[in-house]
Structures are given as C-alpha cells and as structure tokens.
Amino acid sequence: MEQIAIDEFGPDARAALFAELGIETSEVVDLGGFESFVYRRDAAKTILRITHASHRSQADIEAEIALIDFLAARGASVARPIPLRNGALVFKWRSFLVTQFRIAPGHLITETDWQDALFDAWGAAIGQFHRLVADFSPAVRRPHWRDDLNFDLLRRLPQDQRLVLDRAAWHLERLKALPERVDDFGLIHCDAHPGNFRYEAGRLVFFAFDDSCYCFFGYDIATILFGAVQQPWIEGTRAAQEAAARDFLGPFLAGYVRENPLPPTVLDEMDLFLKIRELSLWAVVNAYFDLEDPGNWYVEKFSRGRRERIEQDEPFLRLDFSAFRPAS
C-alpha cells in the first residue's frame, strides 16, 4: 500500500468514516489488506473495503462492481457488492473509495483440500468467467493491461537493477506483439489465487476483482498457476514446484474446457505469461518489503535467488506446456 494511504487513514480518519457510515468500531475486525484497508463486519456478514484514490479511481471501482454484478447475474460464484447505509455501492470519502461485499461462504483452502477435485472446480470457474465476459459490454471499462499499474514494470521495478529492467522491457514487447483475438483476450480477474476465493462443498466463491483488466485469458491462468505452485506446503525448490504444476494443470484444464474452449495462447505463451507475473511480483516485493528481513514467509520464499533467475532469463517453470493440452 502506498504510504500516502497509510498516512491519511489513521485512527481519527477511520473513526470519522465509520461514524459517517453508522459503523461501530467495535463491530469490525481489521483484516489488514495489501492494496486496500479491509474489515470484516460479522453482524452484517459483509466485508468493508477502503481504497485510496492513488490506487484506483472511482471509475475503476464502478467498473469492477459492474463486472461482479454481471457475473453473479449469470450464475457465477462471486461475492456480490452490497450498498452501504447511504445507499451507495461506491462511496467517495475524502481521498478514499469505500465499497462493501458479502462475506464469501466457505474457508481458505488448506493442504487437505489440495487435490484434483479442487483443481477441476477452479478451472471450471475460470472457464465460466472467460465464457461469460464475451457478452459483457460495460459503459465504464476496466483498464487494458497496457494501462494497468501491475504491468507498469519499467517504472515500478528498482531502477538500479538494470539487467532486470532490460529483461522486463524485452518481455513486455513480446506481450505487446501478441494478437488480441476474441477467443483468447478479454476481461480477466487477474488475481484468482487461493487467497481470493473461499471453498466449500466443491464450490469456489471468488472476490477481490480489484486487479481485473483486459488481458489474455492465458495470463489469467498463469497467475493462478504461479500462485498454485507456491503454496506453503510446497517446497520452494524448482523440482517441487514443477511437480506441483504437473499435478495441477491436468485437472484444472479439464475443468476449464468444460466451460470454455482452451484459447491457443494459454499453453503456447505460458512461459511468457509466467515471466510477466514473476516480474510484476518482483516489483511489488522490492517496493514494499525489506528483502533482507521481509517478515513474510511468502516473500522470503519467492525472493530467494529470484533476481539472479530473472537476470539469467530462466523460465519460471521448466515445463513443456504443450504436453498439458486437453484431448479434443
């Protein structure tokens, strides 16, 4: 989170906002949040999200809400937005934008859940999203990936890491060169990792669409694979992560193709999509963590040897992704 957001949302500001919304401070549980301030309201069964305008504009969030409502109306499992006491779905307060969502039923996945049934259901849910958005024509649009801050690598990466910047520039040009076809490009969640859904009785309920953008469907799948192989119960070695990818991709893609034909770029360009995701996360951890003492298990695991691997242009996973193409 940007320092300006932290500075402007101290205890006094928080109390003032809650008072305006008719919320007692004692009724909320602070969930932290990385890009926004996030609170759980158990009595109301909602999640309150407070986003600084330096991160997302009101139009961005209104477009996010429109996407969630569109998906929900067509049967997708998503946590729907709920109006605040003043009736607003997006409430502008000082430099902040406030939204509220239903609490997603279910639980965060554990190692016990980590099996084919989950992977299949996950793939089916993402395939359904990709199929449904083909008919979505919103009045206010989410950003194209070229205009989204998560892809602004040349500005966000450390400026003293010249070879990393050179690698990023090369891979961004490769991404720009890909044709944007209707069957493999559209509005994607872009962050559908295990922290952004709840799981119960074989059903995944997704939330946190705040990174959604127009991009390749294959990139959406790459962000999922990227997170899947870095779960806390999977060792941080290349061999362990590649084994996890092999276990994951087959059932995930089987679920996906039940809902949507597999776009050609998903497997053909998976190395590129994973590399862009790797660079994006490398920018984030450098900006917000002390890599000498990150105080975060994921950042420590991800960062170990990462700069050297990026500079040497090693693929994130050494796999022949064409071998995972589902039988037609």
Q: How many alpha carbons lie under 13 Å from residue 190 in its C-beta half-sphere?
A: 25
**What residues pair up with 197 in beta bridges, in sequence order?**
206
pLDDT in tens, 162-209: 999 999 999 999 999 999 999 999 999 999 999 999 999 999 999 999
Shared domain for 59 and 20, answered yes or no, is yes
Chain centre distance of CA 48 = 18
Instruction: Catalogue the long-range contacts made by 157-161 (C-beta closer than 8 Å, 24 or more residues apart).
Output: 157/279, 157/282, 157/283, 157/286, 158/283, 158/286, 161/286, 161/307
Q: Report pLDDT for 33.
A: 83
Q: How many alpha carbons lie under 13 Å from residue 268 in its C-beta half-sphere?
A: 11
pLDDT in tens, 91-102: 999 999 999 999
Q: Return all residues near 91 (Cβ < 8 A) that are at least 6 apart.
A: 21, 84, 97, 98, 99
Shared domain for 173 and 284, answered yes or no, is yes
pLDDT in tens, 224-247: 999 999 999 999 999 999 999 999
Shared domain for 7 and 129, answered yes or no, is no
Q: Tokens 């946190």 label which residue?
A: 208
Q: How many domains does the chain have?
A: 2
Q: Tokens 């050609």 label which residue?
A: 264
Q: Which domain holds residue 313?
A: 111-324
Q: How far apart are CA 293 and CA 303, in angstroms?
A: 11
86 three-state secondary structure:
coil
Rounded to a whole number of angstroms, the distance between the first and last alpha carbons of the chain is: 44
Shared domain for 77 and 203, answered yes or no, is no
Q: How confident is the model over 269-290, as a mean pLDDT? A: 97
Q: Report pLDDT for 264.
A: 83
Shared domain for 125 and 229, answered yes or no, is yes
Q: Report pLDDT for 3.
A: 86
Q: How confident is the model over 298-313, as a mean pLDDT? A: 96
Please report, for the domain that includes residue 132, its CATH number. Answer: 3.90.1200.10
Please report, for the domain that includes residue 93, its CATH number. Answer: 3.30.200.20
Boundary residue ending a domain (54, 80, 102): 102
pLDDT in tens, 9-68: 999 999 999 999 999 989 999 998 888 999 999 999 999 999 999 999 999 999 999 999
Strand ranges inside the chain, DSSP E: 28-32, 37-41, 46-52, 91-93, 96-102, 185-188, 197-200, 203-206, 213-216
Chain centre distance of CA 44 = 26
pLDDT in tens, 62-90: 999 999 999 999 999 999 999 998 899 99
Task: Decide if 37 contacts 50 (C-beta within 8 A).
Answer: yes
- DSSP labels for 198-235? EEETTEEEE---TT-EEEEHHHHHHHHHHHHTT-TTS-
Q: How confident is the model over 270-274, as a mean pLDDT? A: 99
Q: How confident is the model over 261-265, as a mean pLDDT? A: 90
Shared domain for 87 and 115, answered yes or no, is no
Shared domain for 195 and 291, answered yes or no, is yes
Type of residue numbered 310: I
Type of residue numbered 199: Y
Q: How confident is the model over 249-274, as a mean pLDDT? A: 96
Boundary residue ending a domain (36, 67, 102): 102
Q: Report pLDDT for 328.
A: 65
Shared domain for 132 and 207, answered yes or no, is yes
Q: Return all residues near 285 (Cβ < 8 A) that are at least 6 apart.
A: 291, 294, 299, 302, 303
Shared domain for 149 and 283, answered yes or no, is yes
Shared domain for 147 and 288, answered yes or no, is yes
Boundary residue ending a domain (102, 122, 153): 102
In this prediction, what percent of the chain has a pLDDT beyond 90? Answer: 91
Task: Decide if 65 contacts 79 (C-beta within 8 A).
Answer: no
Tokens matching residue 239:
């061999």
Q: How far apart are CA 113 and CA 219, in angstroms?
A: 24
Which one-letter DSSP state was computed for residue 160?
T
Shared domain for 262 and 284, answered yes or no, is yes
Shared domain for 80 and 148, answered yes or no, is no
pTM summary value:
0.96
